[in-house]
Every structure is written in structure tokens, then in C-alpha cells.
Structure 1
Amino acid sequence: MDSIDAAIPATHKALLLNSTRDPYDIAVVQRPTPKAGPGSAVLRVLAVGVLTYAGKVYSGRKPYPYPTPLVPGLTSIGRVSAVGPDATVLKPGQLVFFDCFINGRDSPEARCLSGLSAGMNAASNVLLEGEWRDSTFAEYAKVPLENCHLLNEARLCGSPADGGLGYTIEDLAFLFYISVPFGGLRSVNVQAGEKVIVTPATGAYGSAAVLAALAMGAQVIAMGRDAAKLEKIKAYGPKGRIRTVLNTGDMDADIKELTRDGPADVFFDISPGKAFTSTHFRSCIHSLRLGGRVSMMGVHDGLPMPMMHMLINDITLKPRWMYSVEDMRVMIRLLEAGYLSLRGIRTVGTFPLEQFSQAFDAAAEMAGPCVQVLITP
């Protein structure tokens, strides 16, 4: 028998995307509440991050490969309501971090993003077209057991007077942004004491990369084009651990500033596709030491690289899509130990399901480091 919370209602509210036709067909509807089976858990969804481009993705203006009808969603913070018979640790009532990056249990080639993207091959499509079609823009969501990471609620949300860290559920939801660059930084084996260039460092993912690198014990060189936003970044780390560099487009000047106190060990990039022509790629790579590493998480097909320089200086280039399950476990351990700090996270808007359109609009307009918009079903 499944372990089931008797308080789970027979039906629940969910945001259902029926079609991306213009105007797109999306609305909050009443649906049967999912039931936990082998390999799954049902979560009461508490807070879900909203992508800046959510409105474009779910209207079809930014085409993503997903089936319809679909309950959209993403990584979230939830409370376990029910678990399948093979659950060994998870129990109803526990607080968890749900990781939206679902991997096929019988194939490493099958990978999808819950509520967002079916992946790049037929095996990946099976995941989102079938068992895991409905995601977390809903009051309840059925998710894979292995994607639920138990959180020490007493430690994370408890009063500092009692040994807690005093975080809110909304603060914890920012793990959605941190998870992605954390995987990229781990893929190039960032070590304590190393120097890491992060660019662009002033957006949600870039500022999250700064927090992740600091948690790993690194020194951070935060690079960007907005001096005012860069100045705000300094407040997110101990004095002397974050240095900022303005991306001027003058390669020689930028390299000189990046290497002012010696070459860096790692360059982490998560810039958008429109940054394709930016000079920062070459500036940052030329600022690495012999044997330096590059973690690329931006999407830049055909990006010209300084290959001769990279060859001579034994530079490792590591593209990475998302992260591993172990990356998420390490991230949560660092959070609970107090090394990964969520101080200063700004939630600029929280919206119920019925105000999904306002949430999408607010997310599209948010700017600056460590900011987020949430849907709280």
C-alpha cells in the first residue's frame, strides 16, 4: 500500500496549457489529484520559480519541445503528501527540494525538464509525454522519488536563537537558480581558494553562480556590463572574496583588470545567445592560468574560440547542461552547513495560480542580482 496523507483532496487546482495557438489556451482548472505509485511521491507544492521567459515559452513565441496538454512548472519547494511503496526515507509532512531535471532510469540518454522541455531525443520525449507530463504549477504534483531532496527544515527555517538559519520557503526557492550554475562549477572541479571568473554576474543565474562559487570556497571575480549592479554583488560575500570587473569590450584593458592580482583558475559563463559577439569570451579565457578550466552553460552555436591559446595553455573547456543528482546533494549539504548563503535573496513577487499571467509579466521585467518571482499554489 502507498503511504497516503488522508488530507489530500480528491481534486486540486492546476494550470493547464492546452495549446500554444495565438492567443494561447491556458487556464487554471480543477483536476483529479495525482496518486503516488512505485517510484513516485506526491507533493503539496509551496513555491515555484518563474523563468524570465515563461510567458514566451508557454505562448509558443519561444518554441520549446513539450507536449500539450501540459501542466507547466519547474523546480520547486514542496511538502510530501504521499509516497509510493518503495520509498525508504521520504515520509508525508517532510519538506523537500524538487529538482525538475528528470533522468530516465533505464537510459542515461533520456533527460527532460519537468513542465518545460521534453529533451533532445525520442527517449527523452517518453518521460514528458507520459508519466511525468504534469509539473508543479499546481497545488499537488506527482514527481519521481529520486528528484525529491529532503531538507532539514528545523535547521534551514528554524530561529537562529535555536541554531536555525531563519530562511523562509521563498528564500529556499532560489535554489532553483543556484542549482544550474552549481552543476557547471562542479563539472570543472572548483576547489577552495581558487579564483573563479563569473560572467555575466548580475542576472539571476550569474548572481546565483557567485553564491555557488563562494560556497565552494572560491574567490570570485564578478564581471558584467552594469557598474551599479556589479556594486550590489559585493554585498553577497565576505569582504575580499568578491572583486568586480566591468566588461568594457576593450580586450587588452579587460584582461589587464581581470589578471590584476594574478591569473584565474576557472572561467564560468552563462551568458544568453544574444551575447554571441561579446569580447568577454576571449578576455576571460586569456585571463586563465596554465591548465585553467572553462565551464560553458550559455548557448552559443558557432562561437569562435581562441583555440591556439587554449591549446598552448592546456585550457579545458567543459560545456554542461544542468547537473547531476550528486551535485544537488552536495548543494543542499553546503546550504544546511551554512556555507551556501541565501541572505539577501529578493522575492519581487509571489502570485497564486490564478495570477499566472501577472507572474509571467513580473518575471519578464525583473532585473538585478539574486531576484526571483514565485508562483505559490
Structure 2
Amino acid sequence: MRAAVLDRFGAPLTVRTMPEPRVDGGEVLVEVLATCVLPYAGEVFAGRRNYPLEPPVIPGFGGVGRVVRIGPDATRLGVGDLVWCDPTVRSRDDALTPDIMLQGLSSRGEGGARLARHLPDGAFAEFMRVPTENVHALPAEARDDPARWSCLGVYLVPYGGLLAVGLEAGETVLVSGSTGNLGSAAVAVALAMGAGRVIAPGRNRAALALLAERFGRRVRPVVLTGEEDVDRAALSTAAQGPVDVVIDLLPPSAPSSVTRAAAMSVREFGRVVLMGGVGMLGGADLALPYPWLMRNSVTVRGQWLGPRPANTGMIRLVASGALDLAPDRVRTFPLDSVNDAIAYAAAHGGPFDRTVLTPRAG
């Protein structure tokens, strides 16, 4: 098979012939039709994000494909099925605290690194070996546009966070980082899940206007000034009532003060979920005040991605029309143009811009 390989950090990916993966019990071989290229993929491959990826490796963050081969433990999947491949792989020998890796992208701790060494290669290839439990059947309509459906992974991130804090219909959600690629997806997901109102802070006025135009009155944009107290007051004013949930998806380059201003706009007994990269590359700590947390009974939790059933829930949201992917701007690239795709994704990382690699298009 042909695949795009990262031989070392800082080097361009090279497309070359590699052995086709061999699947064992508990695994599925998938022909990769489309995979989303994340806007920060170039930073990862350059080594600037310090992800524990171990070259040489075929990268790639999940995708849409056709089942080629299944193991004896697969009772519902069939050869030829169109499927979504979830990149979040969990160890099977500890149900309470499983080790986790992102296939073709990252891992957590030594246990996650061991998983990544066993299943290192991602979706930038014609074929991919995937754990059986990570393969999810897609509805028939996905066959018409697998490239668009391959961007499910972007939406799955905030969906996992909003599930973790138990978002309920009618609640007000504040999305910290709303003008970014993941943050704008969080706005869309929160509304699809029934949020009554979404507060969307940011400095990019054009991106804020795009969110307001796409979603109407349920989205309340707030232009940030960089002054923490001023911004916190503006966020509360925009909410016109209590903020029930705050979800943070800011990148490592963002200052912790922006996350803190958003988090401290939440109501008494409110919930805050942290999913971004603030502090990952150094900088000031988040430093939420102990008395404020305690006296207001605020729940703060970190969340790295979502549980396995989130994949089914996300597919249902899209299939039902509650989450509409049609307005997303999707640009596709063939496998041979993988480095062009990475550069394009970096330059087009705004709201609802999607870059897709198509290793086996057609």
C-alpha cells in the first residue's frame, strides 16, 4: 500500500510503498477513503507541540473508510461497510482507568506509549489497522460525501466534553476559544445538543460574525479586550442570565487569563470543562481562586476526548440533521499532496474550515 510517513520531526512527510497491515483478532482492516488534517498537524510533525509521537510513523487522526477484513469477534460489521474509525484507542485490561492513545497522533503516559507502539499508524495511508471497538457503521447518506463525514473527529472533541459535564437542553454554554477550529465546532455541537444560548468570545470579529450569521440569535458574540475583569463583565452581560456550562478549547498559545475570565463567568453550582492546550508549552497556571470555587460549589473537570458511545451519538446528531455539516468548507487533497494539505490546513484553521486527505478516493 501507499502511505505518507513521518520519518523524523521537522521533515516533510514522504509518500512511499509500505507493507499492508496484517490484522489479528480484535482488529479490522479498513480502506481509508478520507481523513481530516488538523490545523495544528504541522506543529505536531515539526515537533513544536512536543507530542509523544514516535517516528517513523504513519500519522492521521481517524477517518472514513470501507471495511476490507474483519476478525472473528466482529458480529455486526461486514466487508464493504462504510465506517467511521475513532482514533481514541483504550487499553482493554483496565476498565476503570484505561491507558489511552490517539492513533497516529499522540498518547498519554507510558501505558499509552506502549499502546502506540503496538498500533502506531494512522489514517494517512491507503489501509489502516483499527481495533474492532473503534469502528462504527455510518448511515447510507455518508457514501455521498465521505470527505465531509471524515471531519467527525473535530466535532467529537467538544461533544465528549459537553457529555462529561451533562449539558441539558435550554442551558447557557460559554465556549472559550469559539473562533478556532475546535471552538467553532463546540458552538455547533452545543446548539445541536439543545443549548438555549451559546456565548462566543473572541478577538476575531470576522469569525464572530460568521458564527452569528450561521446560528442566529442563539449565539451571542463577545469581542474580548484582553482585560480580564472587563471581559468577565462583558461575558456575563451577554449571557443575560446565569452561565451554566463553560467549555475551554483554547490552544497552547493562549494566555491562561482568557480561560480564567471565561471559567469565572459560570454561575453558582455551574460546571467548567477544560479540553484545550493552555499551559502545555509553559506559561502561567490557570490559578482559579480556591474561595470562589468552594463557596460557589463550582465543578471543574478536565476531559481528554470522549467515551466510546460518543461516536454513536455524534453520528446520530449528523444523520438526524440536528448537526448540519453542509456549511463546512471542505478542501480535499490526494495522498501525494499530503504536505500541501498540511500547509493548507495550517493556513485555514478558522471556523468550519476543513482540510481532508483522500488516500483511496473514488
- 1:168 aligned residue (133, 145, 148): 145
Structure-1 separation of matches of 2:101 and 2:261 = 34
Structure 1 equivalent of residue 253 of structure 2? 274
The answer on whether the counterparts of 1:16 and 1:29 sit within 8 Å (CA) in structure 2 is yes
In the alignment, what sits opposite 1:226? 204
Structure-2 separation of matches of 1:224 and 1:57: 24
Distance between the aligned counterparts of 2:48 and 2:170, measured in 1? 43
Residues 250, 31 of structure 1: alpha-carbon distance in 2 compared, 3 angstrom cutoff? closer
- Contact 1:46/1:169 (8 A) holds in 2: yes
Matched, 1:331 2:314: yes
Shift in CA distance, 287/26, structure 1 to aligned 2, threshold 3 Å: closer
Q: CA deviation at 1:246?
A: 1.2
After TM superposition, the structure 1 = structure 2 runs for residues 121-270 of structure 1, keeping only pairs within 5 Å, are 121=110, 123-130=111-118, 132-154=119-141, 156=142, 168-218=145-195, 219-237=197-215, 239-260=216-237, 261-270=240-249
Match 1:109 to one of 89, 98, 102: 98
Provide closer, same or farther for how the CA distance between residues 30 and 330 of structure 1 changes in structure 2, counting only shifts above 3 A. same
With normalisation by structure 2, the TM-score equals: 0.91
Alignment of 1:7-156 (within 5 A): 12-20=1-9, 24=11, 26-107=13-94, 108-121=97-110, 123-130=111-118, 132-154=119-141, 156=142
Contact 2:250 2:259 in 1 (8 A): no
How far did residue 351 of structure 1 move? 1.3
Query: Which among 330, 353, 357 is matched to residue 335 of structure 2?
Result: 353
The structural deviation recorded for 1:57 is: 2.0
Query: Is the partner of 1:217 in helix, strand or coil?
Result: coil
Question: How many residue pairs end up in the alignment?
Answer: 349
The structure with higher relative contact order (CA 8 Å, sep 6+) is 2
Q: How do 1:305-320 and structure 2 match up within 5 A?
A: 305-320=288-303
Q: CA deviation at 1:312?
A: 1.4
What is the one-letter code of the residue matched to 1:188?
V
Percent of counterpart pairs with the same letter?
A: 38
Q: Deviations over 1:343-374 (max 9, x none)?
A: 31111x32111111111111111132111111
Alpha-carbon shift at residue 63 of structure 1 (Å): 2.8
Task: Say if 1:37 and 1:85, in contact at 8 Å, map to a contact too.
Answer: no
More divergent stretch after superposition (220-229 vs 332-341): 332-341
Q: CA 1:32 to 1:250, structure 2 compared with 1: closer, same or farther past 3 Å?
A: closer
Partners of 1:227 and 1:61 in 2: CA distance: 28
SS in 2 for 1:86: coil
Indicate whether 1:342 and 2:325 are aligned. Answer: yes
Instruction: Provide, for residues 246-286 of structure 1, a one-character-per-residue CA deviation record: whole Å limited to 9, x for no partner.
Output: 112234443333223112101111111222243x3333233
Letter in 1 for 2:116: L
Encode CA deviations 1:279-299: one digit per residue, 9 max, x unaligned: x33332332221010011123
Retained in 2: the 8 A contact 1:44–1:81? yes
Per-residue deviation at 1:36?
3.2
- Kindly state the Cα deviation for residue 37 of structure 1 after the two structures are TM-superposed: 2.6
1:325-347 per-position Cα deviation (integer Å, ceiling 9, x unaligned): 02222222222222122131111
Quote the Cα distance in structure 2 between the aligned partners of 1:259 and 1:17: 46
The alignment partner of 1:88 has SS state of coil
Distance 1:13 1:45 in 2: 11
For residues 278-289 of structure 1, what are the structure 2 equivalents within 5 Å? 278=257, 280-289=258-267
Please list every run of 5 or more consecutive structure 1 residues that lacks an aligned counterpart in the other structure.
Answer: 1-11, 158-166
Letter in 1 for 2:169: A
Work out whether residues 60 and 123 of structure 2, in 8 Å CA contact, stay in contact via their aligned partners in 1: yes
> Secondary structure, in 3 states, of the residue corresponding to 1:182?
helix
What is the CA distance between 1:151 and its match in structure 2?
0.8
What TM-score does the superposition give when structure 1 sets the normalisation length?
0.87
1:104 and 1:79 mapped to 2: Cα distance? 24
